[in-house]
Structure 1
Amino acid sequence: MQTNAIPTAANEKDGAAISAKRPEKSFFDKLMLRPESGVVIAAASVYLFFSVFAPHFFSDRVASNLLLSSATLGIIAVGVATLMIAGQFDLSVGSVYGLSAGLVILAINAGVPSPLVLPMILVIGLCIGTIHGLLVTRLGIHSLIITLGGLMFYRGVLLAITQGFPIRLQAPDPFLRAFDFMFLGIPGPFFWFIGLVAIFAFVLTSTRFGNWLFAAGGSAEAARGMGVPAEKVQVIAFALTSMMACLAGFVSVARFSSVDALRGQGMELEAVLAVVVGGASLNGGYGSIVGACLGVLIIAMIQQGLLLMGISAYWYQAGIGLLLIVAAVVNQRVRIRNGV
């Protein structure tokens, strides 16, 4: 017994000596371990750039527009981030967003009380997402194929509903006005966005379900081996994603009081871009809701900044594409550095 204790004590001393020699991690090193580390630096850089080169970027009106324009996309991005962490994609959120706005207007114009329309549209979103999730997990079809088909189907339904022309609320609705207010210069939809960011960030970082999401996204097979119901978790993530798109559609009706056949077109790509810029991995199992929030704000800053600089709006698409490439490269380097 004593002969075994001697080398063990020696090993402990050697380990303590090695730990003492190892330099303590700096604040920057600790920051870079976070999934949103790259986007924090990117957001600060974009903000400083437009503060210098874009006239009136510091004005209260521009700040309010930034928060308002980021709110709807942000609500969608919260769901998309959750699903991408779980290892899946949803390309239908833009069409679901547009269709839900159309259904909200049709229901209110038909006399359905708007406080009842909100839970109805959320349930519809849950059903849509659940169908997507079951098709993906039960049939083994890639989520890009299922949701791409959904993108075209829901867009076609919206086209049939609108007949290619905008539809509007027949009369102002008091309940909808509660979603479109201004408090201390901050638009009401942005409060919804931040509230959802706080809720989902807590769920992902402090609950068992959040751990299951990361495990299912990292390796569904390994997660099942640890007792994680990976397929069930991914179905729930699909349902939450579509529900967030429907909530964004309801909020957009409160803001615009109308919808057209192209509402939300291309929004699915902007949501994925925001999540990737926010540090999420396209392979799943890695990401951050806070990072996605900052990614949405970066997109809004670029959009507003280019307009204030007098640059044609046609260049916005090019800038967004370049941002996606740069974000993918930076995030890949960060993950390699962190050994993820």
Structure 2
Amino acid sequence: MGKRQKLMKEYGIVLIFIVLVIVMTILSPNFAQPKNLINILKQTSINGILSLGMMFVIISGGFDLSVGSIVGVTGVVAAYLGMGEHPLIVGLLACIGLGALFGLTNGIGVSVGNLPPFIMTLGMMTGLRGLALVISGGQPVTGISKEYVNISSGFLFGVIPYLAVYFLIITVICAFILTKTVYGRRVYSCGGNLLAARVSGINVKAMQTSVYMIAGIMAGIAGFLLTARTTVGAPTAGDGYEMDAITACVIGGVSMNGGTGKWFGVVIGALIISVIANGLDILGVSSHYQKIIKGIIIIVAVLADVNGKTKKA
């Protein structure tokens, strides 16, 4: 493989994103308006945080369908704790703690119980969605404080949305962990060959459990921020978010077989999803068709991944 081919394979997703932005701008001049671009950043931030958590799970060879439901549960809890009676940090820590607990449950079920990730997280997805409805009484939780709302509605230096700042900070942390630490290398090792990782002395069960905890923590943070953005703790919030997170990872080059993927690809993948959704909304395309388009994107991305591996073999 030549140098140019390697660069295209590594950074082709960035070129695709740039072309997509140009096309959307041509089709609708309103797309490039500052107000709309800020809205895209806000949309990307929550899904992007969720996608970064999903990235760890998929690279390690796992799969998590429960993150959207974790967003729903933690969002409801955050709304109850964010009415002004408690410091905001209490709500954030509660969301992080619950996310970690749910992720730990997933991890134990997969690593110790030897349940297939799909089955374990599907069960959690269904159960937690029910838990969100029970906690909220089936109704949206309203009345959150102005201070809580400002967490997502404010701007740094009057220009950069706070949500984008949170996303940037979390991205830097995840990128460092994945690329500069022993833990990150072990995540890739587990996804590349689980047996080889075990033989080399890696505590595979602990690694599997930890990546699900990371995904749960990210979902908890996303739930906390989503409630601040929507000003309501809806038990149905986060519905389908797991698909957006998986799509961002797949588009960004994270292999569904595990062992491969870059953090910046996931970030660009999340941006692409937001740009497509936002652009199609501006163009008046029905949300039903948007789901069809998203499904096609997932299939094409996975096919490209599978064909790439076949050629290597």
Normalising TM by the smaller chain, what interval? Answer: over 0.9
| CA deviations over 1:49-78 (Å, ceiling 9, x no partner) | 212112311110111111011111111000
Identical columns (%): 29
Determine whether 1:299 maps to 2:278: no
1:112-123 equivalences under 5 Å are 112-123=86-97
1:201-220 equivalences under 5 Å are 201-220=175-194
On the 8 A contact 2:66/2:124 being kept in 1, the answer is yes
Which of 38, 46, 59 aligns to 2:20? It is 46
On the 8 A contact 1:60/1:185 being kept in 2, the answer is no
Instruction: Give the corresponding residue for 2:143.
Output: 169
Determine whether 1:265 maps to 2:239: yes
Aligned counterparts of 1:176 and 1:58: Cα–Cα separation in 2: 26
Instruction: Quote the offset at 1:38 in angstroms.
Output: 4.1
Aligned counterparts of 1:178 and 1:266: Cα–Cα separation in 2: 24
1:196-235 equivalences under 5 Å are 196-235=170-209
Instruction: Quote the offset at 1:322 in angstroms.
Output: 1.4
Instruction: Quote the offset at 1:171 in angstroms.
Output: 3.6
SS of the aligned residue for 2:32 comes to coil
Which sits farther off after the overlay, 234-243 or 306-315?
Answer: 306-315
Aligned counterparts of 1:301 and 1:95: Cα–Cα separation in 2: 24
Determine whether 1:148 maps to 2:122: yes
SS of the aligned residue for 2:205 comes to helix
Which sits farther off after the overlay, 237-246 or 281-290?
Answer: 281-290
Determine whether 1:30 maps to 2:3: no
On the 8 A contact 1:274/1:292 being kept in 2, the answer is yes
Which of 225, 237, 240 aligns to 1:251? It is 225
Instruction: Give the corresponding residue for 1:56.
Output: 30
Instruction: Quote the offset at 1:142 in angstroms.
Output: 0.5
On the 8 A contact 1:38/1:334 being kept in 2, the answer is no
Q: State the AA in 2 paired with 1:331.
A: D
Instruction: Quote the offset at 1:336 in angstroms.
Output: 4.8
SS of the aligned residue for 2:201 comes to coil
Aligned counterparts of 2:18 and 2:144: Cα–Cα separation in 1: 43
Give 5+ residue unaligned stretches, structure 1: 1-23
SS of the aligned residue for 2:189 comes to helix
Give 5+ residue unaligned stretches, structure 2: none
Instruction: Give the corresponding residue for 2:304.
Output: 330
Instruction: Give the corresponding residue for 1:89.
Output: 63
Instruction: Quote the offset at 1:332 in angstroms.
Output: 3.4
Aligned counterparts of 1:302 and 1:171: Cα–Cα separation in 2: 33
Aligned counterparts of 1:40 and 1:170: Cα–Cα separation in 2: 38
Cα 1:200/1:156, change in 2 over 3 Å? same
**Pairs aligned (count):** 312
Aligned counterparts of 1:88 and 1:219: Cα–Cα separation in 2: 12
Q: State the AA in 1 paired with 2:305.
A: N
On the 8 A contact 1:38/1:278 being kept in 2, the answer is no
Aligned counterparts of 2:102 and 2:128: Cα–Cα separation in 1: 10
Larger of the two Rg values belongs to structure = 1
SS of the aligned residue for 2:31 comes to coil
Aligned counterparts of 2:148 and 2:81: Cα–Cα separation in 1: 14
Aligned counterparts of 1:296 and 1:308: Cα–Cα separation in 2: 18
Cα 1:192/1:55, change in 2 over 3 Å? same
Aligned counterparts of 2:148 and 2:239: Cα–Cα separation in 1: 27
Cα 1:321/1:139, change in 2 over 3 Å? same
User: TM-score, normalised on structure 1?
Assistant: 0.86
Cα 1:145/1:216, change in 2 over 3 Å? same
Q: State the AA in 1 paired with 2:303.
A: V
| CA deviations over 1:255-278 (Å, ceiling 9, x no partner) | 122022321111111110110001
Aligned counterparts of 2:143 and 2:88: Cα–Cα separation in 1: 11
Instruction: Give the corresponding residue for 1:195.
Output: 169
On the 8 A contact 1:82/1:289 being kept in 2, the answer is no
SS of the aligned residue for 2:153 comes to coil
Aligned counterparts of 1:105 and 1:59: Cα–Cα separation in 2: 32
On the 8 A contact 1:79/1:242 being kept in 2, the answer is yes
Aligned counterparts of 1:259 and 1:41: Cα–Cα separation in 2: 37
| CA deviations over 1:259-312 (Å, ceiling 9, x no partner) | 223211111111101100010111111111111111110010011111222222
Instruction: Give the corresponding residue for 1:77.
Output: 51
Instruction: Quote the offset at 1:33 in angstroms.
Output: 4.9
CA RMSD for the aligned pairs?
1.9
Instruction: Quote the offset at 1:115 in angstroms.
Output: 1.7
